[in-house]
Amino acid sequence: AGASAAGTDALLVADGRADPTSVAQALSRLALRAPGREAGLLLVPDASGPAVVSAWAALAQLDDRLDPALQEVAVQTGRRDRSLTWEELPRCLQDVVADTRKTKKARQKHVARVVSSIVNTTADKWDVWYGRLLAYRLASPETAQDSVPLDAVIHGKPLGQWVARQFLDWRWGGLSEDKRKRLMEGGLSLTDESDRFFADGLEEFERHLESQDYDPYVPPGFFTKSGFALGAWALAQRAAWRRGRLTTEQQYMLDAVSFPPVAHPDNENARTVTLKIEMELRRVQRHSLIAREQVFRKLVVRNHPSRSQSPYAEAATQFLAGYRDWFLTPPMPPEIRKIM
């Protein structure tokens, strides 16, 4: 480090262990032209291997045009569903790859191929999917501001499922401000997607309930056959309820399809106990508050670890604790609430 690069014509990045900052420093010294040298070269043995990641990161430290240009190429790759030709590449990417092939056409073709490989290796795959979202909008201009349905497909890729995952990340703070802004530019709205996500989840939960003989258990991380993230949806609804982010109408709709406000345990035997508890709670859910309080108290006493010999008493008690507020103050149908 710090040595003169006067007698050096090229740097070789042989693998992905090279520190990009060190490579950038050495490359900047290499760029100081010595007599007789026209340019310094950064050599990478494989444009699709891990070495290219380090090499590209080093180049990007020295030229702030490269990362935005690569991002745009990734977006256009997704939108067009193909690699870009040399003519379609940003000028800075045309110039950054050196080639010694004899004909201009062969050189250009090779450069385009290398850039495509760099996109596949180092670019954020999110940008490629964003390009597909733009392609979907362009394919149906009349629905440019509509929600993207879960079963939406573009270029044979499940765009609707990707959009649903973006909404989850957006809702829970997993998307950067730049990505949120770009999604809005692509016609997506957090409010609209929230409404669609809730409605889609409600429908998917009803299907799941029917397919499971009306067992409301949804495993964590569960995806339906249509690709809907029902496990994440269930988690999101319960979290929103605890934080007071569900409207009365949403609470009522969840209750109407027997969606439990607290998750049943993963253990099948413990779940048998909590399912029986829920059946008893739902049986008296429309009774008077005094009657509900009496039933709830009896269930707590019966299942408390200090009284029960069941190995699942703790799970039952936790389930009851999570169910308490929903059971004692159940959501009312919107029309009844308005009358009252």
Q: Over the stretch 25-41, which tens digit does the pLDDT of each residue have?
A: 777 776 665 555 555 66
Q: Is the dihedral of CA 119, 124, 129, 131 positive or negative?
A: negative
What is the Cα–Cα distance from 33 to 72, expressed in whole angstroms? 31
| pTM of structure | 0.58
pLDDT band at 339 (very low <50, low <70, confident <90, very high): very low
Give the pLDDT score at 6.
Answer: 52
CA angle 165–222–224, rounded 5-degree value: 80
What is the Cα–Cα distance from 298 to 284, expressed in whole angstroms? 13
Mean pLDDT to the nearest integer, 2-22: 64
Beta bridge partners, 10, equal: 41
Q: Is the dihedral of CA 184, 187, 192, 197 positive or negative?
A: negative
Q: What percent of the chain has pLDDT over 70?
A: 82
Domain map (residue ranges) of the chain = 127-186, 191-261, 265-339
Higher pLDDT, 264 or 186: 264
Mean pLDDT to the nearest integer, 71-100: 87
Q: pLDDT by residue (tens digit) across 255-306?
A: 888 999 999 999 999 999 999 999 999 999 889 999 999 999 999 999 999 9
Other CB atoms closer than 10 Å to residue 70's CB: what's the count?
A: 23
Q: b or e along 154-180 (b: 16 or more beta carbons within 10 Å of the residue's beta carbon)?
A: beebbbbbbbbebbbebbeeebeeebb
What is the Cα–Cα distance from 332 to 119, expressed in whole angstroms? 53
The answer on pLDDT for 74 being more than 90 is: yes
In this structure, what token pair is assigned to residue 76?
């256009």
Give the pLDDT score at 334.
Answer: 53
Give the pLDDT score at 337.
Answer: 43
pLDDT band at 340 (very low <50, low <70, confident <90, very high): very low
What is the Cα–Cα distance from 171 to 135, expressed in whole angstroms? 24
What is the Cα–Cα distance from 47 to 295, expressed in whole angstroms? 68
Residue 59 has, within 13 A of its CA and on its CB side, a CA count of: 26
In this structure, what token pair is assigned to residue 324?
């308490």
